[in-house]
Amino acid sequence: MVTIRWGKDLTDLGLLWRRRRTRRIIIQIAIAVGVGLFVFYMADKARDLDDLGFDFLSGSGDFPLSTQWLTNYESNDTLLGAYGAGIFNTVRLVVIGIVLATALGVFAGIARLSTNWLVSRLATLYVETIRNTPLLIQIVIWYVVVFLQLPRVEDAIEYSGLFYLSVKGLALPSLTIDGSFGIWVILLVLGAVAAYVLQRWLHRKEEQEGGSKHTVAWAFLLFTVVAVVTYLLTGTPLEPDTPQVVITGANIYSVSGGIQVEPEFAAVLLGLVIYTGAFIAEIVRGGIQALPKGQTEAAAALGLSGYQRLTLIILPQALRIIIPPLTNQFLNLTKNSSLAVVIGYPEIIFVGNTMINKIGHAAPVYLMIFGTYLLLSLAISVGMNAFNRSVQLAGR
Amino acid sequence: MLPANHGSATLDRFKEWGVRMKFSKYMLMLLALLAIGMIAAACSGDEDDDDGAASVAASDTLKTVLGRGNVIVGVKDSQPGFGNLQPDGTFAGQDVEYAHALAAALFGDKSKVEFVVASASTRFELLSAAEIDVLIRTTTWTSSRDIDLSSSFTATTFYDGQGIIVDASSAVQSITDLEGATICVTSGTTTEINLASRLAAAGVNHTALTLAGDAEILEAFAAGRCEAWTGDKGNLAGQRSSYPVEDGGPESLRVLPETLSKEPLGPVVRDGDTDWYDVVQWVVFGTMAADELGVNSGNVATMSSAPPSKDIANLLGVSFEGGEPTNFGASLGLSPTFMQAVIGQVGNYDEIYERTIAPIGLARAGSLNASWLDGGLIYSPPIK
Amino acid sequence: MNVADTQVTRIERSTIDRARKWARANLVNGTANTVLTLVSVTLAAYLIYTLTRFVFVGADWEVVDVNRRLIFLGRYPKEEQWRIWPPMWMVMGLGGLSYGMLSRGSLRDLAWLGAAVVFILAFLATTTNGLLFGGGVLVSIAAYGLGRLSIGRPLLRSKLRLVTIVGWFLVIPFAIILITGFGGVKPALWGGLLLNVLLAAIGIGVGLPLGILLALSRASSLPLLKGFATSIIEITRGGPLIAWLFIARFVLPAFIPDAFETDPIVNSMIVVSLFTGAYVAEIVRGGLQAVDRGQVEAADALGLGTFNVTVFIVLPQAIRAVIPALVSQMIALWKDTTLFAFLGFTDALSGGQAAYNQAAFKGSQIEVLVFVALLFWAVAFGMSRLSQRFERVLGIGVR
């Protein structure tokens, strides 16, 4: 890494203004004065605007939000409530999006390197088409071409009353919570800890004695047993909630109950996942290709199968190279979730714009939006950095 | 810092592209968050001072516009009949005609207008940021917009009302039949508020699906994503008349008889700008007065040289039977004969209506938008 | 059976054999691979079927046909259309020249280029436009010939290289001067794909030097300069472009002194350039990190000043290392220009949106969107391919 230094070391004996120290001081004073003046000017201008301040948030904007997740906002609630619902909608997109995009990206990245000609061609086609087309257009196309082509509710695709797939979305069975749910969760956490300890113990034994001890399988089994037993002991704290088709008003079909996945959310999610997945695929491919060929050859010489080579030798090493650019993609996905406005999915930019449209106050609303994105980015960066450190340590 | 020739070349390249996450970056992000928090706190504290300095800004739009040589108008680009972009890159519609009328009044040339496309959710931001001089975009006059959004509504060019459109074959006859229905509505409009309050009053549970625009709603409605589609009746009529044949054509849609709300649409300007407000308002009233008095683009020249009545002379800024002409135009800061340019180049209210709104299937006769002489609401205050 | 027949049979057999051998090695070696192949074939067949059906049966392309002017030029006035041609010829000429100098040319390239020419010709409404474009193609071919001629002639080649580099730098200023100057078209009326192209070009044209400056400042030993650059970069990257664009459109005007009468589109361009600059800065910083410290020390020892060391030693090495990432950023910017549709500028996307909102074309949203997406894809794909070619010629990534 190079550092750009100002002035030459040897000129310290020259004229005063040519000395390195002098230049350093002059340049820095100029910056300080410039920034100071700019900030002063902006602050002065800001005082002239009459829409600063955050008091308006306690008022109501009188607008509904068509999609909500975990929140219960109604149109006469405060604007703060509306913005909160927007944050939850953004987080929902980002969290699920990151998980699915990573899965798709890893899959497609490996597929691009497949020895199967057709598979690698298809993966290339996917990457080159999606990466080079604006996401904004893709989201609308997915919405209209995929989700609006689903059958009407009366002809919904269903499976023995468990799920319904229609143009009004996907309804899945869910569980409602009973009183003893908290106790069960605590017991579950204990079970998970016990399973982890078991896995570590078996792993150490594996390293000492050699051979496979099926560490994950045993740990999983322990956890499952704990989960089932405690579930029965606490008196089955969860009740299934299956979706069902209801007919209301003048022959209007809808699905109620269970978990509802709205087509608008699904379209934005699909768009984000497919788009980000294409970029992740390239990162994964590059990460794998960056490994010396000898790694694969040595693994093959040890008699590992193709799947073992990939999961035990290649991916863990590629991961170290992949994580930094992958973090960048996660941050991009977070920022790209703002494009959901194009079909009116109420994430923070949409809610913010609606608020401004109803009651003004553009400057503070954008300040809030930036604060939210900054927080989200910070959370992702911190998390990925911790992950990165753990991976790097494990490897050395 | 990065040792050269370490590992393969591609690996190095990857490292170079990758983000280098350092502690300093978090510090910076945290600092930025802190700064936002501090600005927020500072803003809340300042509330009292602000009101004093409030309405100082931009009150000379008329002078600015005349100095600039054209008027910047926010219009819609996607609603046939009101504001819609044509294949050749020009705009058409009633709102657009009024933009031209304004240019004709200001500069004697209806082409001296610059159009800015305003979306439903950004129009008031455009107006308050002075990106546009006047907003003529099917905008409903409401108390909260007038007061909270620091805008002023000048006159009503179209009396609309919110309606609901449903599939012709559906059993829905009135809004009470919509229990449990999903209803599509454009985001950022007054219609979404009306919908909520009217259906709540009727005790009808529903889901409002807000989408970005009419085209998206059309696709969603045709697919059965929503059972009903609500919007201004003027807009719904246009949507219905141009409903795609492959989805069933206009006959497959039915407008419910109920009108959910009053939606008076017209040009909007910024608050505290009376000179400019007056100009916009009286250009609109001028076209209505011309309609009442029977002055149109065909006869405006002859009427100007020999006005048949004092009222017409006042409107056109000419002397009546040797008397002194009124200072209607001059007092607005315009040419005395500005209405001659408006009517000659654009036409009176009726001509504009017939050219733009009638083709989308809304007859003027018998509607709220008929002249008051015919039992409608289009009424110009006297010009004298 | 005569000799000729036998030969034909042998050739056929060998082709079939080779195909069979290839298929066995690449498609059906092992059970898992066979299953994969079957799944892929089904997927590919489904994709091809749906797409072909959509393009030839399902879609009604009339909306695109009628509104091509709106999509390509937006509200740009018809009588000023001549101003677009000279810059276009310049681009085509420079493209031909660069291609001739860098590549031997291949049938595959020719096929792609031919398809592009036919595609563009199909969208030019009048014969005059067709002839004007044809002229550009001729210019391009002539320039290609000139470029080929230079191979093996170092003197001509170095001159041509200078012409090409200077030409590429001048093409955007030239286009902007010709379009706006001499009573031309002001930015508010730029529209359609033309607007997207100009936005992307200006964004990268201003953003690249700005980004390099920011990266250098961030690598500076002066704490205040470094802090300033770091803040600008990280704050800009903190929010999505769409939020910045909204701020440029709705918040910024209140902060600009009244003395500056700015065009809204110019404000947005400034913001896009700043945004691009911040991302470019991070990429260039990666490049700076790859430059060996010894390089600077050696240059210092030779007595070169800060400016000389930076411009002639550090930057060329740093930028060379990150060209692929810079091209990705250009492509990202190119796609991001569609966000201007939210701001009320009639770019290709919002021109298309207006088209499918016309009374005659309700419900043809997908046709328009697919077409616009195809336009963006073609340019982005072309750029990425060109950059790969460029990398190979320059030997980037190979040490």
- All residues of chain A having their beta carbon less than 8 Å from the beta carbon of residue B150 are 360
What distance in Å separates residue A286's CA from the closest CA in chain B?
8
Q: What parts of chain A have a pLDDT lower than 70?
A: 1-20, 48-52, 393-396
Whether B355 is in a domain gets the answer yes
Residue A89 CA to residue A337 CA, distance in Å, equals: 10
Whether B5 is in a domain gets the answer no
- All residues of chain A having their beta carbon less than 8 Å from the beta carbon of residue C339 are 136, 339
Whether B16 is in a domain gets the answer no
Which helix H or strand E contains A48, and what residues bound it? helix A20-48
Residue C346's CB is within 10 A of a number of other CB atoms, namely: 30
B residues 38-77 near A, CB within 8 Å? 39-40, 43-44, 46-47, 49-51, 53-57
Would you place residue C138 in the very low, low, confident or very high pLDDT band (cuts 50, 70, 90)?
confident
- All residues of chain B having their beta carbon less than 8 Å from the beta carbon of residue C356 are 215
B residues 109-138 near C, CB within 8 Å? 114-119, 122, 125-126, 128-131
> What pLDDT is stored for residue C263 in this prediction?
73
Residue A84 CA to residue A102 CA, distance in Å, equals: 27
Most confident of A299-313, B130-144, C181-195, C315-329: B130-144
Is the pLDDT reported for residue C271 higher than 70?
A: yes
What distance in Å separates residue B66's CA from the closest CA in chain A?
26
> What pLDDT is stored for residue B14 in this prediction?
40
ipTM for this model: 0.86
Would you place residue C1 in the very low, low, confident or very high pLDDT band (cuts 50, 70, 90)?
very low
Of the partner residues C43, C221, C251, the one whose CB lies closest to the CB of residue A5: C221
Among C134, C166, C184, give the residue marking a domain's end. Answer: C184
* Residue contact A250–B178, C-beta within 8 A: yes
Q: Does residue A353 belong to the interface with chain C, where contact is any CB pair within 8 Å?
A: yes
Same domain, C206 and C327: yes
Whether B45 is in a domain gets the answer no
pLDDT (mean) for C173-179? 84
* Residue contact C365–A366, C-beta within 8 A: no
Domain range spanning residue B289?
285-374
Chains that touch A (3 or more CB pairs under 8 A): B, C
Amino acid in the structure at residue B269: V
> What pLDDT is stored for residue A129 in this prediction?
93
Instruction: Report the DSSP pairing between strands B268-270 and B151-153.
Output: antiparallel
Same domain, B338 and B245: no
Whether B224 is in a domain gets the answer yes
From residue A174, give the alpha-carbon distance in Å to each of A164, A241, A254, C169. Answer: 13, 5, 17, 60
C356, two tokens: 């499918």
The total number of structural domains in chain C stands at 3
Whether B165 is in a domain gets the answer yes
From residue C281, give the alpha-carbon distance in Å to each of C31, C39, C208, C259. Answer: 49, 44, 8, 31
Helix axes A215-233, A181-209, angle to 10 degrees: 160
Interface test mutation site (partner C, options B6, B33, B86, max chain C beta carbons within 10 A):
B86
The total number of structural domains in chain B stands at 3
In tens digits, chain B (384 residues) has pLDDT values of 333 333 344 444 444 433 344 445 666 666 677 776 666 655 544 443 333 333 334 468 899 899 989 999 999 988 888 998 888 888 999 999 999 999 999 999 999 999 988 887 778 888 888 889 999 999 999 888 888 788 899 999 999 999 999 999 988 998 889 998 999 998 767 788 888 888 888 888 888 898 888 888 999 999 999 999 999 898 898 888 888 888 888 899 999 988 988 899 999 999 888 899 999 999 999 999 999 999 999 999 999 998 999 999 999 988 888 888 888 888 898 999 999 999 999 999 999 999 999 988 888 998 899 999 999 999 999 988
Tell me the per-residue pLDDT of C42-94, one tens digit each, with 9 for 90 and over.
999 999 998 898 888 888 888 888 888 889 888 888 878 888 888 888 888 88
Same domain, B128 and B192: no
Bridge-partner residues for A247, per DSSP?
A: A253
Amino acid in the structure at residue A75: S
Whether B236 is in a domain gets the answer yes
Same domain, B187 and B132: no
Closest CA to C312 of C327, C297, C296: C296
Tell me the per-residue pLDDT of C198-243, one tens digit each, with 9 for 90 and over.
999 999 989 999 999 999 888 888 888 888 888 888 888 888 999 9
Residue A60 CA to residue A62 CA, distance in Å, equals: 6
Residue B243 CA to residue B240 CA, distance in Å, equals: 5
Among B158, B178, B205, give the residue marking a domain's end. Answer: B158
From residue B233, give the alpha-carbon distance in Å to each of B362, C125, C258. Answer: 9, 38, 41
Closest CA to C72 of C377, C372, C356: C372
- The CATH code belonging to domain A79-173+242-395 is 1.10.3720.10
Residue B196 CA to residue B204 CA, distance in Å, equals: 9
Residues 6+ apart with CB under 8 A from B75: B83, B91, B93, B95, B96, B99, B115, B116, B117, B118, B136, B137
Same domain, C214 and C252: yes
> B226 near B167, Cβ under 8 Å?
no
> What pLDDT is stored for residue B135 in this prediction?
95
Residue A178 CA to residue A52 CA, distance in Å, equals: 46
Domain range spanning residue C257?
59-76+187-399
> What pLDDT is stored for residue A274 in this prediction?
97
Q: Rounded to a whole number, what is the distance in angstroms from the first to the last CA of chain A? A: 24
CATH number of the domain enclosing C371: 1.10.3720.10
Closest residue in chain B to residue C237, using alpha carbons only: B29
A residues 49-68 near C, CB within 8 Å? 49
Q: Rounded to a whole number, what is the distance in angstroms from the first to the last CA of chain B? A: 83
pLDDT (mean) for C267-280? 91
